Each structure stands twice: as C-alpha cells, then as structure tokens.
Structure 1
Amino acid sequence: MGLKDIFTTQRNNAAEMKLLKGDGDSSIAVISGASYTARGTKDAGYCGGSSQALLPKLHAIYMQLTRYIQQDEMKQSERKSEIKQEISGLEAKNANIENQINNEQDKLTILR
C-alpha cells in the first residue's frame, strides 16, 4: 500500500460517506474523535497530500470548532435565562399559594 492509496478519495466506507453528507456545523461529533482522522485523510486527499494545504485546513477546523463553541454558549445562556424566568414564575406562584393558605387558615381560626 503506497502513499497514493492512503490519500485517494475513491475508497469511501460508510463512516466516511456519512461525514461527506453531514459536513455542516450542526454537530461536534463530525469534527472530533475518530471522524477527525477520517476528515483529515479526506481533506489531504482533496489537496493531493500537500503540506502547504495543512495550515488552511487546520485553521478551517479550528474556526469550525470556535463557531460551534460560540453557538453552544449562546444556546446555554438562552436556556439559562428561560430557566430563571420559569423559576421566578414558580416562586411567585408558590408565594401566592402560601398567601391563600394563610388566608384560609386565618378564616378557620376566626370561625372556631
């Protein structure tokens, strides 16, 4: 097996085909773990194994990871604010119910 055989793009197994179809920013799994190696091999095959293409490819992967992290942080902050609003609403509802209970207890003590 020669160096050309390693970097050819004709031999794609099922995992690599999945990578080619799902090449978007939607999931970190596409650009991490075992698929990271498959993506590197695929990208090296596209540029003929050129070492000059390594830096732009690394930069592209770095930028993709950075975008993913930023999107994840935005989603987390949005979810945190939603949860804080839910908590404050539930606390207000709880206080209202406690007031109703106290009022009913006061009414019962007056009636006795």
Structure 2
Amino acid sequence: RRAAAAQGTSLYEEEEILLALIGGKDYNDDSKCKKKLEEYCQGLENASLKKKEIHEKLKDLCEVGKADTKCQALKTKVTKKCTDFKTQKLEQAVKNPSDDNCKENERQCLFLEG
C-alpha cells in the first residue's frame, strides 16, 4: 500500500478491485457474490453513512438490482485482469527479475494473492 501511495495512485481506483475485496473468494460465484455485496450494503446502512461518505466507485452499488449486475461482470473482469497481468507482465518479470519489476507489479500481485 505504501508503494501505491508513493506512486500517487490508489489501490482502490478500479471498481473491480473494490468489489473483489468485498466479495473475497466468492467473486466468481454470482449468488455468493450478491450475498456479500448485500451484506456490505446492509453494513453501510447500519452505520448510517451518507452517500458522500462512501467511496465514489461504490456509491451506486446499493441501489436495487445493482448487486446482480456488478457480480455478473466481476468474474469476467477479474479473470481478464489476472490473465492480462500474467501474460503481459508476470511472465516477463519472472524471466528477468529486478527491483523495478517488484515495485511496478506489487499492487497487482497483492490483488492476485487475495
């Protein structure tokens, strides 16, 4: 996280990362994902958070029917992100490892580990 902050970027800029963090390992099962997102929304409601206090990428998540849509797209987005990272970055980095590769790819590796 420090590396992301040092680079001036946020780990939480991409919606699929946020949704995957909420859904956890259930991101690839639509019904479990939907349940996790609904639990998250219930938690926000119980915390009495105002819409402006919720991360910008998640503001519309708790609207009726949004959890279904988000979960259906999440599996595809995460799978694509993992495949692209593996073929475009990771395979090359393993062939020629360096400190720069680690710094550049740390955020994605942390995401993939989760």
TM over 0.5: no
The structure with the largest alpha-carbon Rg is: 1
Q: TM-score with structure 1 length normalisation?
A: 0.32
| Relative contact order, higher structure (CA 8 A, sep 6+) | 2
Q: TM-score, normalised by structure 2?
A: 0.31
